[in-house]
């Protein structure tokens, strides 16, 4: 985003998580910050009370698919079903914003999102919190890149991960607490819909996809092993 005011959107993917998300909400409230949660439908269906708590707290909720596949590897019918299934469980709190899983996108998946009335939201700063970096490393990475209008990618859960240690969200929580403590006087932390009203979206070609081999090596909280359906 290009904005005149010092506003930033923190975004959290892959939740909700029964342990991490409530703790994260407490940190955001402590610093008077708002955020956007791109939720996976399968997780949201398990924890509807947390979905409601996020919304009641004044945060935005976006669509992150039903069970986190790579959209370019799906058919159009499968993509539409993924988005609609997630939309159903997020109702009435979900907003028409979508982040594709793994940030994977091609022209056809983008058109499918538009067909359903969704604006695709990517990011300009990544904390790389899906690996085992500590809080100081993540805070430093974000602070060196953050600008007016930045959209920051973080995760309140990891729906798929490679190593068990990567699933630990404690370093991310500490990083967010440290970051907000240092930057709350310099930036206002708002939701993505609020950020979109502040300025002009910066658009670029974003075509990316994972390989089936990479995806087949991942696992997640709903099973020790996971095979990509191809």
Which residue numbers are catalytic?
13, 155
Q: Report residue 196 as tokens.
A: 């979109």
In a 10 Å sphere around its CB, with 0-12 CB exposed, 13-18 middle and 19+ buried, how is residue 70 labelled? Answer: buried
How far apart are alpha carbons 106 and 73 in whole angstroms? 10
Place of tokens 């068990």: 164
Q: What is the DSSP letter of 4?
A: S
DSSP notation for 130-149: TS---HHHHHHHHHHH--TT
- Residue spans of alpha helices (H) in 57-154: 76-90, 107-115, 135-145
Place of tokens 């930057």: 183
Q: Report residue 79 as tokens.
A: 């993509």
In a 10 Å sphere around its CB, with 0-12 CB exposed, 13-18 middle and 19+ buried, how is residue 77 labelled? Answer: exposed
**Residue 55 CA to its chain's centroid (Å):** 15
How far apart are alpha carbons 128 and 137 in whole angstroms? 10
């Amino acid at each position: 985003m290009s904005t005149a005011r010092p506003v930033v959107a923190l975004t959290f993917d892959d939740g909700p998580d029964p342990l991490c998300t409530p703790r994260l909400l407490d940190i955001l409230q402590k610093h008077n910050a708002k955020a956007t949660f791109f939720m996976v439908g399968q997780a949201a269906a398990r924890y509807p009370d947390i979905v409601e708590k996020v919304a009641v707290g004044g945060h935005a909720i976006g669509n992150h698919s039903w069970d986190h596949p790579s959209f370019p590897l799906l058919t159009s019918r499968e993509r539409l079903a993924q988005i609609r299934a997630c939309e159903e469980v997020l109702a009435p709190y979900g907003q028409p914003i979508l982040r594709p899983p793994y940030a994977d996108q091609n022209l056809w998946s983008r058109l499918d999102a538009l067909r359903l009335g969704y604006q695709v939201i990517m990011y300009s700063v990544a904390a790389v919190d899906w690996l085992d970096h500590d809080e100081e490393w993540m805070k430093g990475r974000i602070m060196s890149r953050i600008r007016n209008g930045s959209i920051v990618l973080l995760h309140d859960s990891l729906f798929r991960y490679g190593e068990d240690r990567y699933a630990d969200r404690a370093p991310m929580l500490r990083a967010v607490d440290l970051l907000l403590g240092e930057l709350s006087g310099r930036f206002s932390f708002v939701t993505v819909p609020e950020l979109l009203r502040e300025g002009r979206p910066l658009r670029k070609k974003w075509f990316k996809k994972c390989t089936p081999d990479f995806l087949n090596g991942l696992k997640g909280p709903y099973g020790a092993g996971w095979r990509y359906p191809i």
